[in-house]
Amino acid sequence: MRAWVFLGMLLLPSAHAADWAIFSAEGQAEAGQRFEIAVLAPPGEPHPDELAVRMKVDVAEIALTLHATGPAVDGRRIYAATMPISASGPVTLRLADQPSNVLVLVASRRDAVRSMTGSTIDEREPPLSENDPMYFIVGTRGGTTARFQLSFKYRLFDASTGFGQERPWLSGLYFGYTQNSLWDLSTESKAFRDTSYRPSLFWKWERAQERAFFDGARVGLEHESNGGQGDTSRSINIAFVRPEWHWRVGQGSDFAFTPKVYAYLDKEENTDIDDYRGYVDWRVRFESGNWIATSVLRYGTANKGSVLLDLSRRVRDLKFGPVSTYIHVQFFAGYGESILDYNVKNKSQLRFGFAIVP
């Protein structure tokens, strides 16, 4: 209380000049956390239950609504809001609808998203970011073929404004898209053999506490189809859960187990696809220094399945803009290298190329 009174006395001259005065006992706040300021109103002016504030973060100006935490006492009322996650360093505040002084707070971003969503997602991740691996590889067994994959995810709500600020859990909601193509380079027309399109909507969570059964999880819906017609048309709709476990192994090495468990919501065009894919993509990943190894195993209900092995090695001298590339090797054996051939077992394939995201 003494700190509030002392700061109030210091600001009384400016309060008289500007009619309203705002001040903080702490002078600092944490991004993504609740912070409080005190507001002095001119004599005879009532304190509203809400106050609009204009906050300047770097060159951006953000509108905030302050909510009163209790009744006014001695002409002073305490208001609270959530510091935007994008805030870092000195930020300035002033009342939007009343003339007031400018208040400077120092915002820190330590564990900002973690505290709001129970997540360790790094807020420096841009709204549009990588999702599954992205690569281009070529093999020659059974004719020269190329396989390439593009994948991204888009965060639908920004936790620093709008619905994302009002309901922080929404900042974990993503739209994802993955496209995988098989390209037949041995034919005269160089036609694409098959392409699968996989849009998805999912909620992503990562562990904030030291003790939790999962280190992370994704829960969502996914559609996969090849855009074909008639006998070549393939499509499925699934609901999936993808828990994540991570372990630190030795010096600078990581091992991850991230199985994707799913239920088929619609598989009319390929009713027996579970015979070849099953209901789980068993995925493990090992990363050590410049090397990354990933394997995905599918085992169907008819004792048929597939195995996919990826090995990447970072090449720091080759870059596409700011993104380092990787030498990429992939081995595939079993059924369903493409959704068109989900029930076909072709020759095992070994392909070489590069990856942008391994």
pLDDT surpassing 70 at residue 220: yes
124 or 190, which is more confident:
190
Q: What is the pLDDT of residues 38-83, one digit of tens each?
A: 999 888 888 899 998 988 876 567 888 899 998 988 888 999 988 8
* Order of strands across the sheet that contains 34-40: 21-23, 34-40, 76-82, 60-68, 50-57, 89-95, 103-108, 28-30
Reported confidence tier of residue 291, pLDDT bands at 50, 70, 90: very high
Stated length of the chain: 358
Query: What is the percentage of the chain residues whose pLDDT exceeds 70?
Result: 84
Q: Are strands 28-30 and 103-108 parallel, antiparallel or unpaired?
A: parallel
Please list the residues that pair with 301 across neighbouring strands: none
| pLDDT at residue 9, as a whole number | 39
Identify whether the C-beta of residue 156 lies closer than 8 Å to the C-beta of residue 57.
Answer: no
Give the dihedral of Cα atoms 128, 133, 136, 138; nearest 10 deg: -170
pLDDT surpassing 70 at residue 228: yes
Is the Cα dihedral 116, 119, 120, 124 positive or negative?
negative
pLDDT surpassing 80 at residue 115: no
Residues near 218 by Cβ (< 8 Å), separated by ≥ 6?
A: 202, 203, 204, 205, 240, 241, 242, 244
Residue 278's identity, in one-letter code, is G
111 or 233, which is more confident:
233
Instruction: State the DSSP string of 88-119.
Output: -EEEEEEESSS-BPPEEEEEE-TTHHHHHHS-
pLDDT surpassing 90 at residue 190: no
Identify whether the C-beta of residue 41 lies closer than 8 Å to the C-beta of residue 26.
Answer: no
The structure tokens 């090992």 sit at: 286
Range with lowest mean pLDDT among 110-119, 273-282, 329-338 = 110-119
* Domain chopping of the chain, boundaries: 2-110, 115-357
Report how far apart, in Å, the C-alpha atoms of 326 and of each of 7, 112, 169, 175 are: 57, 32, 34, 26
Best-predicted range by mean pLDDT (58-67, 168-177, 257-266): 257-266
Q: What φ, ψ does residue 279 adopt, rounded to 5°?
A: -130, 10
| pLDDT at residue 64, as a whole number | 85
Q: What is the mean pLDDT of residues 321-344?
A: 90
CATH number for the region 2-110 comes to 2.60.40.10
pLDDT surpassing 50 at residue 238: yes
Intrachain domains 2-110 and 115-357 with the same fold: no
CATH number for the region 115-357 comes to 2.40.230.10
| pLDDT at residue 208, as a whole number | 64
Q: What is the pLDDT of residues 89-107, one digit of tens each?
A: 788 898 988 888 989 888 8
Query: What is the percentage of the chain residues whose pLDDT exceeds 90?
Result: 50
